[in-house]
Structure 1
Amino acid sequence: MVKVLELFDLHHGNLRLLNPATGALDLIAQKGFPPEYGEQFSSIKIGERTSGRIFRMRGPVLWDNIQTDGSCAYLALKKGGVNSILGVPLIAREGIVGTLTVASLQRGRFGEREIELLAALGRVVGVAMENTRLLRALESSVDDLTRLTLRLEDSDSVKHRLLSVISHEMRTPISIILGNIELLMEGSFGEVTQQQIDSLLTLRRSGTGLLFHIENALDVSQLETGGASVHPDLFTIDQVRDVLMEFLADEVKRKHLTLCWEIDPGLPTLVTDQGKLSKVFRNLIDNAIKFTEEGSMAVRIKYVAENQMVKCEVEDTGIGIPESQFQVIFDPFHQIDSSHTRLYGGMGLGLRYVKKALELLGGGIEVESTVGKGSRFRFWFPANYVKQE
């Protein structure tokens, strides 16, 4: 408020914000007005008094001489010698969030220049106030989740809620970063060299991978809480493979591995949730690539006409999994052991997503593995999704 008044070389002004709970305009800051002003008008209704009218008019409102203007309701201001009042709404993305008013002892103090300037300030202050409100709401939510986490530190449900909030907040900025990387690669900000393109490709690959894990966390949270549903699509497994290879080919090449797809030529067009099924394949193949330092991976897909089931395998020649871990690897947040967590990374949610998504699609999964030789994940799902009662 002080900075605004200094800009206009004034000594009187006030700032009000809309209280969502009461629907009234609460006085947040004031300067230069008589003491009874703040005491009597700490909160006013929309449409009443000067600020209430500014809010209702949804645009700048000017009083050139309130001493002779009966429409201005602030008798306290008249007693204080105020002559001119200019007020504007605070405009944010979601609408009007308050009012900003300045006053002068001089008649006719405000012209077009002052009106335009204060209106522009109203937009800036409005967005700033809305951002502050949203930040406080987010901080409050994080505080609530933190307190809950402290009370139930080992509860998976709390971990899912906290992870869901964090993942949701991270998804938007990462998407913006990826969008800017694409613009840079296209030369939208100037010509780029091949070396710069190579660096941008590395950034894009890392960012895309991070975004995938963030979306994985959100998806697992939905699956765990019963918020996920099936959206059947009509598609072929070749479509799934082609899209996945766009994401996976660079990493396979970087690690000097081979990835072979063996698809049953008799496999029909599928009617199930393409998005969820694609993520099942990607999580399993991602794991195979991550835990395989040399050798190969194979994806085998076979159609069993008798029961119209699709049976699949994802096999690798990686580090393998101890038999004692066969069941718990599908638990949320599980890692084989702490050394693997440090070496290979990950949140321990990929296989949890695979298991829960396949169950939702009417299928299942099992694993066989030998430490030091590799792993084979077998899973199945109906070619035509049937809603389960």
Structure 2
Amino acid sequence: MSQNLPKLTPEMLIPRMGEYIVQKELITEDQLHQALAYQQEKNAMGEHCLLGQALMDLKMLDRDSLDEVVTEQIIQLRSALQSANRNLEQRVKERTSDLNEALQRLSELNQMKANFVANISHELRTPLTHIKGYLELMVTESLGNISNEQRHALQVTQRATAKLEGIIEDLIMFSLASRGEMSMKLDKVNIRRLVTLSAKSASPKAEERGVQVLVSAKENIPSVQADAEKIGWVISQLLDNGIKFTPSGGSVVISLKEEGRNLILLSVTDTGIGIPPNRMKEIFEPFHQLDGSSTRHFGGTGLGLSLVRQIIEAHGSLLDAQSVEGKGSTFKFPLLAVSD
């Protein structure tokens, strides 16, 4: 088949050559039409014929003139291509510069946000400590006797204060993580004990919502290398998240199992409302709620899962999230096992 293909010539690379020859007044419009008709006849007969050959066959143009025209157009095309390349390179440089400036500005804004969050959080922490202290003094009647109604009101205030304290601590941790200043104290951790304590702490809230919290782990599960405080926080967040989005009668199961000889897989599975597939990535965005309306049913700052993922990644691990809308979600990650 390749034997039937015409030989590549410079003329084939020249677009609209006929118009160019007419512009140079080497031929007239009528002669161009005659040459094009002649070319079509030749091609119809199976004889490949270029416009330049047709012009020479019809004695309208000689070989030297044709070669000169082809050379001129090739030079012009090369010059145009070089100019286009220079313009493109300049545009790429300008666009790259714009993107770098935007990236730098975004980085500065993120730093400003992290600093602002850190400063505000630390400023809130001090007065909150005083509020907690005086509430404790009043509840324990160190400042005088109180009625049952007053005690109840103070206890409600204590719970609200504890919730506010948790939000402030989350904000401080987020600001540290955003600035790359979150320190890790890796040590051997009895992960089964940590999971059991976390489940026990989450039980009162679960009971209020009619949700069961279950632990599935062998007695002799190996310890792991981790920052006990931060992994404990991660477990509590995942449990709290599962409880919050699971309706009454449902359950949240936290399990530990060995993966090979060196890993312990920790997973938290709930029977909650689940997450739409097209919105899975959103759950890890800081300060983001899937239901962003003012009438949303579920509270929170939107920091929990974002911080969970950052802490897990700081352990050299990865958080895997799976969910089926209307059936529930599973969050799991492996930790390095260590010998007891």
Q: TM-score, normalised by structure 2?
A: 0.61
Specify the alignment match of 1:240 in structure 2. Answer: 194
Specify the alignment match of 1:298 in structure 2. Answer: 252
1:108-257 superposed matches below 5 A: 155-241=109-195, 243-245=197-199, 247-257=201-211
Q: Secondary structure of the equivalent of 2:293?
A: helix
Specify the alignment match of 1:7 in structure 2. Answer: none
1:358-377 superposed matches below 5 A: 358-377=312-331
Specify the alignment match of 1:355 in structure 2. Answer: 309
Distance 2:196 2:146 in 1: 29
CA-to-aligned-CA distance 1:207-232 (integer Å, 9 cap, x gap)? 22221121111112212221112112
What value does the CA root-mean-square deviation take over the aligned residues?
2.8
Q: TM-score, normalised by structure 1?
A: 0.54
What stretches of structure 1 of length at least 5 have no aligned partner?
Answer: 1-150
What stretches of structure 2 of length at least 5 have no aligned partner?
Answer: 1-104
Q: Work out whether 1:320 is the aligned partner of 2:274.
A: yes
Q: Secondary structure of the equivalent of 1:289?
A: helix
Contact 2:289/2:302 (8 A) holds in 1 = yes
Specify the alignment match of 1:270 in structure 2. Answer: 224
Q: Secondary structure of the equivalent of 1:259?
A: strand
The structure-2 alpha-carbon separation of the partners of 1:245 and 1:370, relative to structure 1 and needing over 3 Å to count, comes to closer
Deviation at 1:360, TM superposition (A): 0.7
Contact 1:233/1:273 (8 A) holds in 2 = yes
Deviation at 1:353, TM superposition (A): 0.6
Distance 2:295 2:303 in 1: 12
Q: Secondary structure of the equivalent of 1:364?
A: coil
Deviation at 1:336, TM superposition (A): 1.1
Query: How many residues of Structure 1 are paired with residues of Structure 2 in the alignment?
Result: 235
The structure-2 alpha-carbon separation of the partners of 1:153 and 1:207, relative to structure 1 and needing over 3 Å to count, comes to farther
The structure-2 alpha-carbon separation of the partners of 1:358 and 1:341, relative to structure 1 and needing over 3 Å to count, comes to farther
Structure 2 counterpart of 1:223, one-letter code: A
Q: Return the structure number with greater strand share.
A: 1
Question: What is the aligned-residue identity percentage?
Answer: 32
Deviation at 1:279, TM superposition (A): 0.9
Contact 1:168/1:218 (8 A) holds in 2 = yes
Higher relative contact order (CA 8 A, sep 6+): 2
Q: Return the structure number with greater helix share.
A: 2
The structure-2 alpha-carbon separation of the partners of 1:256 and 1:279, relative to structure 1 and needing over 3 Å to count, comes to same
The structure-2 alpha-carbon separation of the partners of 1:263 and 1:209, relative to structure 1 and needing over 3 Å to count, comes to farther
Q: Secondary structure of the equivalent of 1:280?
A: helix
Distance 2:139 2:197 in 1: 21
CA-to-aligned-CA distance 1:261-306 (integer Å, 9 cap, x gap)? 2223221233421111011011111212222232333233323263
Deviation at 1:331, TM superposition (A): 2.2
Contact 2:273/2:328 (8 A) holds in 1 = yes
Distance 2:118 2:182 in 1: 14
Larger radius of gyration: 2
CA-to-aligned-CA distance 1:178-237 (integer Å, 9 cap, x gap)? 222222232212334554444333322222222112111111221222111211244423
